[in-house]
A and B are shown apart, each in its own frame.
Chain A
């Protein structure tokens, strides 16, 4: 077995050193009835070449996003990731290292986290960011719990523009702790409804911008209404590239900003692993979940970095911890940080403008198809359109023509009564000819 270095001779000599006659004697504490005498009924070990054949055959049965016209967004986005990003994250010292518990020999990971926190802080416009969460949806759920701890209130108002998976994840985490999540009806733009739903029991308001329908919202008025009621504003962003163009959550009055960071540095990977971004106002830091990296000095007075404020965390605080989270999403955060370092603020803004330009082109091409209505008033790189037929059937028909046309809203929220709504997205990877192909095929499908 190519991954196991011990020889049979090693094994018997080591057993002799230990003072036992066989490996079975080391498993003596296992109850006899639970000791498996034989191999489990699964295939036996296989060569690298054989495993590669098997896995590649499975991979070949999927239509890769980049293999043709592709317009899906809704929480996961296809962007070009520079080649150096994947090269660097495969450096052994990043890929095969553990959580930086021994700071003297983990300064690489720690400095990356410090830089990552600074980048996230700058993008979200809030002074403190943590070392990342599992993904945007779990970051959002943790933010709701945090707001409940801060305000000592037990109700969260969720905008109808919040990604339905995010709303569902927040519900799962919150309701067992007695925190109610009140999700408003799915709506392209529900600013007024959100403000109307805030009351004196509200711990937090959760608003997404750009929202799941693509709508960009100035949340300043919602922030004012939330703060007047003593509630916190949580702003969710699923498309991190939008930070390059749009006002930051902090600038608009958010107390906590959470985001899916996948767009920067990380591929689609069928939904994970991704990287959650989490930032907040300074005075809330002790209620923040997740790891934090801080600056300090070593015994020689040299600058260095350590994990800090750990008393919030499960390994110390146990049942009184701010969260049960143990890991962050280290390698995905590294990929985010490297891509962001290549882009810089200037590059991110350029990238964002190109995304917006492609989405405008997409809207123009689709909105002129008879029977298609563009629903999203102000968008960044994705928007909702209404079709004259259920969107899922249209998407299936177009997939047969090798066009991945978008996400039927009913896939995310089957009970919203929006079967005819299709979410479409364009990024810098979307070519003009792809848009032409989609527009032509969509027109044909609708006319059918």
Chain B
């Protein structure tokens, strides 16, 4: 069997003895029931302009529900309390550094939110006549211009709804390009350190996945890549900077070998924030790359989406871009929605309508605010902050790939915890008690006990220092043998460690009376 033991500790091993279970609150933090336990099922918190009782429903007979859905309705004050109380149980970038590597938790400018809520953007139907949405199409066109210019690529497909959707878009375009030449290829190569979405996307697009080995310094192994390339390989999917936070030094050679084998170079653009304004992916030989607007261009993560994943494409792949796209003609902007003429080779539709307009407005607002100079500074400060953390922690925590600079994130392994009885998971949970969200743990998979720290450019130096001081103090405690502090952590969070094993063995996925 494949022995997958990653991150295996999944229930609390430490049972603290105190009265926590009987508390109903914590300081001013109130416990909060489920709406189904506190609400009334015959109430509503919305007033309507007319009564609905006298509606004629005769011709819907047999199609009507017997009773309203069994869901409680809460008044506005109850609703506000419920959600505000719940919100207090979340960490947020507005509270403190949120150092999740690979996730890019940076400040979300509020101007972006304000612009997205202008009725001229927020209250537009996607199927209004083009003559009534010229400003919206102009925004899409402007966003496309910025993305193309920043990447140096000639085309962009805006509609993918998230990074993973962008990957699918890019791989389907590559598939279409091979098929248009009658070239049936079967395989996609990804490095062992790749994001899980890469192999998942390749499989979804009907390809087999083969892994490329990694060198001891955390980069793609060129010799292994060369050996695995061949007429069966449709594309490679490489993240650059890669998931170890390192720039692929041989990227131009990687692209050359790939193209020589007749394959395409798909770049996972999740880490574009490290190089925006300083490096154009087109100059590295990229054929397609998605851009997570919620990372590089700071649309809010919202507790897990919505994101947006536009894909820039090379000249060769551009004609396979999915519908729709924006064009400009004598009558102003228009949407190409039919697969005919210039769009005859389009790979079809990825979703209804035109993509994540609300995110386009936010991202474009962000771009206009920063400008070419501000965006370059974004990349520089992101890299500077990560290297500063690496420099301050390296004396104590072990970095797997040695001395050279990292890009936007600093990677450590758990070698330095050996013999302490403390694991990466324990260390991360103890960070919560110090007021910090843990870093990304156990990813990338190629590094044992990985701890991946991405501070982003929006952290002030005093916050970086506070963070580093806290980690160094914790590290000293671990080395001093203060194991209880770690095994029972977190002590100060709204809840202690949760039993994920019980949750998975007997799933309870909804409330039941």
Contact = CB atoms under 8 A, between A and B. Distances in A.
Given A66-B119, A76-B125, A404-B132, A292 B74 contact: no
A345 B129 CA distance: 35
A268 B125 contact: yes
B449 interface: no
A112 B52 contact: no
A31 B219 CA distance: 14
A330 B306 contact: yes
A427 to B, nearest CB: 12
Interface string A35-50: 1100111111110100
Contact of A98 (B103, B122, B139, B337): B103
Contact of A298 (B338, B457, B495): B495
Contact of B302 (A20, A43, A95, A123): A95
Contacts of A296: 498-500, 502-503, 508
Given A356-B57, A404-B132, A414 B16 contact: no
Contacts of B167: 324
Contacts of B209: 318-319
A287 to B, nearest CB: 14
Contact of B79 (A11, A105, A121, A338): A338
Given A138-B161, A176-B172, A347-B44, A25 B80 contact: no
B384 A14 contact: yes
Nearest to A248: B65
Interface in B144-187: 146, 149-150, 161-165, 167-168, 172, 175
Interface string A71-113: 0101110100010101011111111111111111111110110
A10 B94 CA distance: 22
Contact of A105 (B70, B128, B307, B437): B437
B126 A270 contact: yes
Interface in A180-226: 216-218
Contacts of A121: 509-510
A7 to B, nearest CB: 8
Contact of A1 (B199, B277, B377, B392): B377
A78 B123 CA distance: 8
Given A42-B372, A326-B163, A17 B76 contact: no
Interface string B39-60: 1111111101110110111011
Contact of B125 (A65, A291, A295): A65
Which of B87, B163, B201 has most chain A Cβ within 10 Å? B87
Interface residues of A, number: 202
Contact of A330 (B42, B138, B304, B404): B304
B118 to A, nearest CB: 4
A107 B204 contact: no
B73 A43 contact: no
Interface in B182-236: 195-197, 199-206, 209
A244 B67 CA distance: 9
Interface in B490-505: 490, 493-500, 502-504
Contact of A88 (B44, B80, B95): B80
Contacts of A344: 39-41, 43-45, 68, 71-74
Nearest to A54: B368
Contacts of B307: 327
Contacts of B407: 26, 29
Interface string B285-315: 0000000000000001111111110000000
A321 B196 contact: yes
Contacts of A26: 383-384, 387, 405, 407
A34 B167 CA distance: 24
B475 interface: no
A136 to B, nearest CB: 7
B161 A272 contact: yes
B365 interface: yes
A239 to B, nearest CB: 13
A131 B306 CA distance: 12
Given A270-B136, A297-B498, A319-B209, A218 B63 contact: yes
Interface stretch (A151-159, A162-170, A438-446): A162-170
Contact of B92 (A14, A92, A400): A92
Contacts of A27: 247, 278-279, 383, 405
Interface stretch (A55-63, A227-235, A365-373): A55-63
12 contacts: A11-B384, A45-B370, A57-B135, A64-B119, A93-B95, A127-B510, A138-B161, A138-B351, A247-B64, A299-B496, A300-B20, A354-B52
6 A-B pairs with least C-beta separation = A344-B73, A59-B120, A271-B353, A331-B302, A347-B44, A61-B135
